Structure 1
Amino acid sequence: MSLKFIDLFAGIGGFHLALSNLGMKCVFASEFDEAARKTYLANHEIEEQFFNTDIRSASYDLIPDHDILCAGFPCQAFSHAGKRVGLTDGSNSERGNLFYCISEILEVKKPRAFILENVRGLVNHDNGNTFKVIKEELEAQGYVIYHKVLKASEFGRPQHRPRIFIVGFNKDKVDTTQPFEFPQPIPLEITMSD
């Protein structure tokens, strides 16, 4: 079965590369940053009419049906390097509360699954309350949720960049009786100079 996915807050297309390498097809993407958009279009196959500039301006019911929603939603509001104002961050395009766009799309389109990625600081932001709100919001959309902080260096890439991955499965469309398991780490066999 060929699965379809959408790529929100797409950056230069990390999710696109991974899922298309698995034979999946991107049917919609959204990225605000102009330089990232140019890079994405130069490297990934997507019709420009399905490449949105600002997810807040999209009509969610017009987003093509898809099986998996992917989103690396803005992290500045949760990062240790930022002011950590969280879901209330209204600076530069409401980046802290753009998570709610994801929730609304899940409510309208009800894909089989989603994969979200953010900084590890999201887990402990506001003494864990921010992540609690996010988890409850996703569960209210009918998804079983799993999360884990993963490092690229634990999966064969010489980069220390811990990120939280949140994976959810639609209880009405996927058998959720078997728990999801994140992949096991693999030994790091290359260096940056390699």
Structure 2
Amino acid sequence: MKYKVLSLFSGIGGIDLGFEQTGDFETILANEFDVNAAKTYGKNFDNLLLVEDIRDIDETKLPDFDILLSGFPCQAFSIAGYRRGFEDERGDLFFETLRIIKEKRPRVVFLENVKNLVTHDNGNTFKVIKEALSHHGYYIKYQVMNAKEYGDIPQNRERIYVVGFSNKEDYLNFSFPEKIKLQTSLTDIIDFKNKIDDYFYYTEDRHSFYSHLVEGITSQKTVYQWRRKYVRENKSNVVPTLTANMGTGGNNVPLILTDRGIRKLTPRECFNAQGFPNDFQLPEDLSISHLYKQAGNSVVVPVIERIAQNISSALKGYACPNVQLELFA
């Protein structure tokens, strides 16, 4: 029997997918407020999806479940969100997650956010979250993990993952996965050979800074970015952190040198850089900018899957190796 999952702030379902790929978890209900993200979610999942503000959800009417997933909006805790934290109106959405945790008392709580959550307001923001969970009886472990180190995905993407257990034995059995060697290459997720739609290419007649791109973008072994006045090369030879505003231009657009010219990544390639499988469907009636936003807002699926596998083992009574993180309860 699979563990039942409630998914909050589901987005396009990256966290749900990572858990379901283990074969041990099944999402029974999800919630997402953004209608475009919900459209993508609906094309890839069969479970019930509530497309509404989480504030309008009556927690007393929710079905029972074993694990709660919450990738609550990260803008309130990121540099891009001006680091306002709980002063930002989006910061209180963690407490909407907590409201449901208090009512339903799931066996496991899984949270995902930007790594800046740890240091925001000199650590006070994260302290509030930890203390709120421990106050309601959860033993927690957390870790900042990079996709290129823990997911075998060539993207420099650091996120914090928090796992809370209502059962101390489950907590003691759990540890985060260890680092693995990066074997997936850029050529595995990006098409450097074939011609694609002209829209994605940079040309001299359409881009005034094209000569700077030609001068700076010289290798197919890495990914670049145009920084308004110069070309920035990713020295790690991986995709730089994908962002939600990639589709708006500026300096957030990953650029590559292909056999057919200099171009930006396609939305599908961005989804590849998040570890989504090839059969994950992208709605054809959504704009390219919306697809870029969805990719940038999502998670690295293989990292989620590896954490979910260890959670499953812990729930089954199998101790994971390397159990050594801090206890808050």
Between Structure 1 and Structure 2, how many residues are aligned? 186
Corresponding residue number in structure 2 for 1:83: 82
Match of 1:146 among 141, 149, 172: 141
The answer to whether residue 156 in structure 2 is matched with residue 160 in structure 1 is yes
The answer to whether residue 67 in structure 2 is matched with residue 72 in structure 1 is no
Q: Secondary structure at the match of 2:169?
A: coil
- What is the CA deviation profile of residues 113-157 of structure 1, one whole-angstrom value per residue up to 9, with x for unaligned ones? 011000000000000000000000011111001110001111201
Counterpart of 2:78, as a letter, is: S
Counterpart of 1:62, as a letter, is: K
Q: Secondary structure at the match of 2:80?
A: coil
- Native 8 Å contact 1:79 1:122 kept in 2: yes
Corresponding residue number in structure 1 for 2:31: 30
Aligned ranges 1:41-190 → 2 under 5 Å: 41-47=42-48, 50-90=49-89, 95-154=90-149, 155-171=151-167, 175-176=169-170, 178=172, 180-190=174-184
Counterpart of 2:102, as a letter, is: E
Q: Secondary structure at the match of 1:22?
A: coil
Q: Secondary structure at the match of 1:29?
A: strand
Corresponding residue number in structure 1 for 2:283: none
RMSD value over aligned CA atoms? 1.3
Q: Secondary structure at the match of 1:138?
A: helix
Which consecutive residues of structure 2, in runs of 5 or more, have no partner in the other structure? 189-329
Question: Normalised by the size of structure 1, how large is the TM-score?
Answer: 0.91
- Native 8 Å contact 1:114 1:167 kept in 2: yes
Q: Distance in 1 between matches of 2:67 and 2:118?
A: 23
Taking CA–CA contacts closer than 8 Å with sequence separation of 6 or more, which of the two structures ends up with the larger relative contact order?
Answer: 2
- Native 8 Å contact 1:72 1:118 kept in 2: yes
- What is the CA deviation profile of residues 50-103 of structure 1, one whole-angstrom value per residue up to 9, with x for unaligned ones? 42421110000111111000011000011022211101212xxxx111000111
Corresponding residue number in structure 2 for 1:21: 21
Q: Distance in 1 between matches of 2:171 and 2:160?
A: 23
List structure 1 runs of 4+ shifted beyond 3 angstroms: none
Counterpart of 2:30, as a letter, is: A
Structure ID, larger Rg: 2
Q: Secondary structure at the match of 2:79?
A: coil
- Native 8 Å contact 2:67 2:110 kept in 1: yes
Q: Distance in 2 between matches of 1:192 and 1:99?
A: 35
Q: Secondary structure at the match of 1:18?
A: helix
Deviation at 1:108, TM superposition (A): 0.2
Deviation at 1:176, TM superposition (A): 4.3
Corresponding residue number in structure 1 for 2:261: none
The answer to whether residue 13 in structure 2 is matched with residue 5 in structure 1 is no
Q: Secondary structure at the match of 1:96?
A: coil
- Native 8 Å contact 2:165 2:171 kept in 1: no
Deviation at 1:16, TM superposition (A): 1.3
- Native 8 Å contact 1:115 1:165 kept in 2: yes
Which consecutive residues of structure 1, in runs of 5 or more, have no partner in the other structure? none
